[in-house]
Structure 1
């Protein structure tokens, strides 16, 4: 399916440096023209932030550039001007880019969720391997598109002319983690707001907090003192045998409910990584230290206790059923993506928002990971003009940063979904704490980023350290093979 975007003439009002400094206008608007026009122009100036990219306004001579999108999140790139503030912002961004560079942006939509991973990869692989220049940019779910890096289907964006990955609209931890042997073949950034909406966060039920006479943990979160100890203490205090049968199950109230996707984030939130940079600049597997062992063993004990309940095993399904039971008041804490706020809008009892906890108060910062469903982008090696594909990608990220994410953040999230001022402040904290780790970025290639989550839910009885060591040679071999795939 191809959707052709026809260039529309727009007047893009960019406030000059002199005006933005607040120079005084001594002209009487009653003399020069209609005051309503003056007000409209002033509003446009106030709401149109200046571009922060370094791109020159060059002409692409009316050429069409084709982007591959996953149809389930095509709205991140393609939208009609429906009047919805986000749709309109996306529509205006693309029209602005088309006019700025005198080009057309066309889209091809294909099913691109995890269930269609093989087919989506085949579309990309088939085009590139056959020498077909059907796509100038490909986008898609991170754990579907990124694994194609090792097949050398994408250009090294560091070799293109117009990409500047030091700009704030690119996700820095992604760029650093994905870079192997000086190659960055896929990027994540604010061309798509899923790099923020898919952040892993903790929700809490305010009704359960109130019933137990506890204090909302906002102050701890904002003061940097929201820790694993405090998370455990609140979760344990909230657990309750509702029907008095002496058995804690899905009919009762538990402290925390999730499944593997929302247990793994505790690893990073406690400041842990599977690897570290070795003397030669390559990533090498770490040896578990006291901190890593302590986090793993304590979470394992917690998950084997009555205070934790696995949503997948207890309620069936994953995200949808997990949120349904949270809305029904079945547990105090829930791990979920930030975009879960859209569903929780229907929740009758108030809820709050928190980052995943630190290991201790001495930890310098929070680390909030992003579930592997966010959108990444790449330029195929068969793109007609890779430098100009990179230019459009840079412009999409720049305009998204300036004109789309602020609307999603301030209006869609803060005004429509977030229920209190404290949660809005926590949202700012989470946005500044986004983090992606090397092993998670190469999830498909290394296949052990979820090992921590698997261990903490296990009941095998072995220690984390011994189990980790049993896997060491296999993991080190996978890391070595990954580096080898980028050589030559």
Structure 2
């Protein structure tokens, strides 16, 4: 651990010297302005932190804090970084270095070693260990939806019962608590401690060159003002869609306002402010997918997706999503929805692009909602075989506090600014997106395969009610079984 600390100090010193050198040409006026802003921010930070109760510090005797995580780069994984892993080989990468500094700070403060066991299948590995009664890891990071299957098998500990954790504080994600708590039980958690929920959030990529050529409205300002709606997206899409190669057919080589597909209908459904289920005040889920707003949401989604004057379906492109991404790179696509992980595909793009939240159903919708791909998004869970719940709660809280305003900021600064996205407004939109994440308990449990209502209803909204009628009885029965299982 001493060697790690020396390495960290050398790295920080090098970064400081580099930063000082880069600021050498700053004029007095600019320097004064920076100092003033910095002092004001520091005062505000001190004022805010002074109201936060300090976290207890304990000597944990050199124990290991073991995390069972997915192996990075394996097929089916959708993330660039691991939450608790850093390497000396990646020194200089801002995210790697922030994880390193955080881990080392916690390891030294609590006399503990953070260990990540990377496996190809977290769920099957964890299930085997837990059912055998083996205490092999303090936390695991299964995909969110899979975690609820494990919870149904009695394999996971109620996150709300962890000591020390202040889940009402801003370093923990309130969205997942709002959407996935079941009668004061929660089996998954995330927040500043993790980047997975950022990577797997759905966004809209925005080609600024194409927007400039056609002098369309400032989409960032539309988003800020709450006027970024699905109807507005279609309207702007119709302005740019045209037969580029002049063959009389809108094909793969032409220009489109929107490129999307029925298969990503979940992200559109939740963006409209619709849900499969909502939680009552006591945390009891209620299926609401049959309400009038759901029908209206599908009407708007279906209208956009089937409007050939604005939209091209990915399923009608010869090379599917590869063709869609290439269209964005070649300035032939104005709006392309996808997850933030997809941003890695634009590293080679020469022209400017940005990031927007998914549009709203209408201007009256109170906020934006950006779906987190919970079927492939790792989250933090605790196994029932954990024999040291007290230390686990303490270290999770310590790691999350230490991550506050560092890990996520590094993600935005490095991955979305200096490496990929090209303007400050995209960073602003990122923060908006991260604050408006949406999960759904009915989606994670998939009671009666209720999620199967979404894709066909996006394809043809007139079939929504008949499709729902076939699925709803089984969904209600499965939900009742879940509630009975956890009754009392």
**1:76 is matched with which residue: 77, 80, 83?**
83
Look up the match of 2:100. Answer: 91
Deviates more, 1:445-454 or 1:354-363: 445-454
Tell me how far apart the structure 2 counterparts of residues 144 and 288 of structure 1 sit (CA, whole Å): 25
Matched ranges for 1:85-164 at <5 A: 85-111=94-120, 119-164=121-166
**Gap runs ≥5 in structure 2:** 10-37, 73-78
Contact persistence 2:133–2:385 (CA under 8 A): yes
User: Aligned to 1:76, what secondary structure does the other structure show?
Assistant: coil
Please tell me whether residue 436 in structure 1 is matched to residue 448 in structure 2.
no
Look up the match of 2:485. Answer: 485
Contact persistence 2:354–2:426 (CA under 8 A): yes
Tell me how far apart the structure 1 counterparts of residues 6 and 479 of structure 2 sit (CA, whole Å): 50
Contact persistence 1:357–1:366 (CA under 8 A): yes
Deviations 1:1-27 (A, max 9, x none): xxxx778558999xxxxxxxxxxxxxx
Deviations 1:159-211 (A, max 9, x none): 22222211212111211322223221221222111222322111122232233
**Gap runs ≥5 in structure 1:** 14-41, 112-118
Tell me how far apart the structure 2 counterparts of residues 91 and 252 of structure 1 sit (CA, whole Å): 46
CA drift at 1:409? 2.2
User: TM-score, normalization: structure 1?
Assistant: 0.82
Tell me how far apart the structure 2 counterparts of residues 377 and 53 of structure 1 sit (CA, whole Å): 24
CA drift at 1:335? 0.4
Deviations 1:289-316 (A, max 9, x none): 4432222123213322313223245244
User: Aligned to 1:448, what secondary structure does the other structure show?
Assistant: helix
Look up the match of 1:17. Answer: none
**2:234 is matched with which residue: 224, 229, 232?**
232
Deviates more, 1:404-413 or 1:308-317: 308-317
Contact persistence 2:59–2:111 (CA under 8 A): yes
Look up the match of 1:308. Answer: 311
Please tell me whether residue 63 in structure 1 is matched to residue 63 in structure 2.
yes
Tell me how far apart the structure 2 counterparts of residues 100 and 405 of structure 1 sit (CA, whole Å): 22
Tell me how far apart the structure 1 counterparts of residues 111 and 292 of structure 2 sit (CA, whole Å): 58
CA drift at 1:98? 1.0
Contact persistence 1:205–1:329 (CA under 8 A): yes
User: Aligned to 1:201, what secondary structure does the other structure show?
Assistant: strand
Contact persistence 2:214–2:240 (CA under 8 A): yes
Contact persistence 2:304–2:311 (CA under 8 A): yes
Q: What's the C-alpha RMSD, in Å, of the aligned pairs? A: 3.0
CA drift at 1:317? 5.3
Deviates more, 1:191-200 or 1:430-439: 430-439
Tell me how far apart the structure 2 counterparts of residues 278 and 403 of structure 1 sit (CA, whole Å): 34
Relative to structure 1, the CA distance from residue 93 to residue 279 in structure 2 (aligned partners, 3 Å threshold; closer, same or farther) is closer
Contact persistence 2:69–2:122 (CA under 8 A): no
How many equivalent pairs are there? 443
Tell me how far apart the structure 2 counterparts of residues 120 and 59 of structure 1 sit (CA, whole Å): 30
Relative to structure 1, the CA distance from residue 87 to residue 299 in structure 2 (aligned partners, 3 Å threshold; closer, same or farther) is same
Contact persistence 2:207–2:334 (CA under 8 A): yes
Tell me how far apart the structure 2 counterparts of residues 437 and 364 of structure 1 sit (CA, whole Å): 18
Look up the match of 1:413. Answer: 416
Matched ranges for 1:39-58 at <5 A: 54-58=54-58
CA drift at 1:137? 1.1
Look up the match of 2:471. Answer: 471
